[in-house]
Amino acid sequence: MPAVAVLLGALALFALGYRFYSVYLAKRVYGLDPNFVTPAHTLKDGVDYVPTNKHIVFAHHFISVAGAAPIVGPAIAVFWGWGPALLWVVLGTIFASGAHDFGSIVVSVRHKGRSIGSLASDVISARARILFLLIIFFLVTMVNAVFAVIIAGLFIDNPSAVLPVLVTIPLAIGVGQVVYRRRTAALLPSVIALVIVYACIPLGEMFPITVDPVAGALGVEPAFVWLVLIFTYTFFTSRLPVWMLLQPRDYINQHQMMLALLVIMAGVVVGMNTIEAPAFRGDLPEGSPSIFPLLFITIACGAVSGFHSLVSSGTTSKQLDKETDARYVGYLSSLGEGTLAVCSILACTAGIMVFSANQGMAWSDIYVDWTAAGTGPAGKFVQGVAGFAGNIGVPENLGLVFATVVIVSFAATSLDTAVRLQRYTVQEISSIVADKASEGGTVHRVFTFLTRSATVSTLLAVLIPFALALVPGNFAAGTLWQLFGTTNQLTAGLALAVIAVWVTKRGRNPIVVLVPLVFLVAMTSWALVVQLMGFLGSDDPMQRFVLAPLDIAIFGLAVWMTVEAAIALRKAFADRSTAKAEETAEAATTEDTEPTP
């Protein structure tokens, strides 16, 4: 199958989805109001609540959600064949992710920019709030651990990419100062910044940065040093106002994302490469996991992702200038991430075979078994992009650095946002515990302090995933991905439950939200059981004594939360039916009592 045919077909379907389906959601399901005053205006504080141009909000949201996950998930899932992976990405993006991201923004905007977990108490039940927040806590902890390990691994494998990535930070701060202080457009400054970043790629080749001497002097692994540096960085950046670093770097990375997609697409078109992998792999190696349900949790971001609801309601909704911007920001960002996932599929099935002609190996040699598929998936994408870049004349060594800079930039941005979101989550959970504890007691004082101290809450948000990333065996980049994917999809299902109840209460038809909701809850619950059996049967003590208890806890929370959502949804339908019946009865009474002319 020609890679270009797959690419063009997916893009055409995405365009139709935005042109027709997103308009249907905006008008018929979410009922956007152009006159509604958003929380960015009513609660403006210059730190989190900041009315922002929709293009900049799009850049923030797109880059925050399109991190390493839509690259890594598809890079693993093509193990079963590119056909199922592509089908799930395209259909999931149009009908699940678009409705999920779009709806999460709208519901949060209509509730003062509150997080989706906090909204569960108003929309579903008071118990649902703490249940949802605990699930979010587990999810974001794993997001931060996995992304940090991926970044550290890429820095170790490609030290030439470190310098261009580091240069991005002061450049983004400079762009933020120019845009915010001088009230100028962000386009030109951010483009200039990106040009400088790419000008540093040859310098990175000349002066690769490695932490090996420091690691050797301390007697630790280089990955440990990188993890310390990465989490220290995120601690400080997550405390800065969004306009100072988060927004301007997101805008720079948006241009970088567009350029990366352009390079990949141009390479696909010019090279006219054939997809070397089978559309559906029937001869799976012995011991391979079943495609059902694991495909739908291996590819989370890129099809539908609960992490997006945290970004939508945690930071994006607080920056939305107009409610009608939610369609552009939420749905179009989902399509952008779906496009990245499609490019990842093509890079790992066609582009990777172009890279150095792959040393004479067949595609099946690279994906020889499930372990090989899960080992270095980000590296497979990097090689695939370098292969496509070679089609348009970019030397392979520069293509490798370029692709690494791209994926690290995306992952780092998601990491910054996730740590900020985890701070909110820790503070919300602490507030609930403090309210339940006896006033004046030790528990009350400790959790009240956590609620009020953003610094200590951020420290916890950093230290917990740091500890998880340091577990012996470095399982955070491998086995933990499955549990991350399951929790991520479960969170998406629960976010859709909140949206479905809210839509129902407003008298609108929630069927387009309920269908992906039921599918995701079924797949993730099934996957949690399958994974638990695997963890309990493993000889690895980390899986048996760390991942298995995590799996059980998440499954218990999922069942409880699903029951709460079902009760709330049933009540919402009942209330709506009662209201309609009363309205009909009142109309009939009025008609009967009208005098005959």
Say if CB 94 and CB 13 are below 8 A apart.
yes
Residue with tokens 């440990």: 224
- The Cα–Cα gap between 106 and 111 comes to 9
- The Cα–Cα gap between 304 and 96 comes to 6
Q: Quick one: angle between helices 69-77 and 377-391, nearest 10?
A: 90
Q: Name the burial class of residue 219, with classes exposed (0-12), middle (13-18) and buried (19+) by CB atoms within 10 angstroms of its CB.
A: exposed
Q: Name the burial class of residue 348, with classes exposed (0-12), middle (13-18) and buried (19+) by CB atoms within 10 angstroms of its CB.
A: buried
- The Cα–Cα gap between 190 and 232 comes to 25
Angle at 75 between CA 100 and CA 259, to 5 degrees: 75
Q: Name the burial class of residue 102, with classes exposed (0-12), middle (13-18) and buried (19+) by CB atoms within 10 angstroms of its CB.
A: buried
What's the alpha-carbon Rg for the chain, to the nearest Å? Answer: 24
Which tokens is 38 given? 């958003």
| DSSP states of 240-263 | S-TTTTHHHHHHHHHHHHHHHHHH
pLDDT by residue for the chain (597 residues), tens only, comes to 899 999 999 999 999 999 999 999 999 999 999 999 999 999 998 878 889 889 888 877 887 787 778 998 999 999 999 999 999 999 999 999 999 999 999 999 999 998 887 788 888 887 778 887 888 888 888 888 888 988 998 899 889 999 999 999 999 999 888 887 777 777 888 889 999 999 999 999 999 999 999 999 999 999 999 999 999 999 988 888 877 887 788 778 878 888 989 999 999 999 999 998 999 998 888 888 899 999 998 998 889 998 899 889 988 999 999 999 999 999 999 999 999 999 999 999 999 998 866 567 889 889 999 888 888 888 899 999 999 999 999 998 889 999 999 888 888 887 888 888 888 889 888 988 898 887 778 888 888 988 888 889 999 999 999 988 887 654 444 566 777 888 888 889 889 999 999 999 888 989 999 999 999 989 988 988 988 888 888 787 777 887 788 889 888 888 887 888 888 888 888 887 776 666 666 656 655 555 544
Which tokens is 405 given? 């800079």
Q: Which residues pair with 2 in a beta bridge?
A: 274
Which tokens is 341 given? 């996932």
- The Cα–Cα gap between 554 and 565 comes to 16
Say if CB 2 and CB 78 are below 8 A apart.
no
Say if CB 523 and CB 489 are below 8 A apart.
yes
Q: Quick one: angle between helices 332-346 and 246-271, nearest 10?
A: 40
On the CB side of 244, how many CA atoms lie within 13 Å of its CA? 10
Identify the CA nearest to 319 among candidates 442, 420, 196. Answer: 420
Q: What are the φ and ψ backbone dihedral angles of 288, each rounded to 5 degrees?
A: -70, 145
Element (H, E) at 522: helix 511-536
- The Cα–Cα gap between 393 and 461 comes to 44
DSSP state of 115: -
Identify the CATH assignment for 3-282+310-574 out of 1.20.120, 1.10.3470, 1.20.1740, 3.40.50.
1.20.1740
Identify the CA nearest to 296 among candidates 145, 97, 533. Answer: 97
- The Cα–Cα gap between 390 and 410 comes to 22
Residues 6+ apart with CB under 8 A from 137: 422, 425, 426, 429
Q: Quick one: angle between helices 332-346 and 82-92, nearest 10?
A: 170
CA dihedral 109, 113, 114, 116 (to 10 degrees): 50
Which tokens is 19 given? 């042109």
- The Cα–Cα gap between 481 and 143 comes to 9
Count of other CB atoms within 10 angstroms of residue 558: 22
Which tokens is 207 given? 């002066």
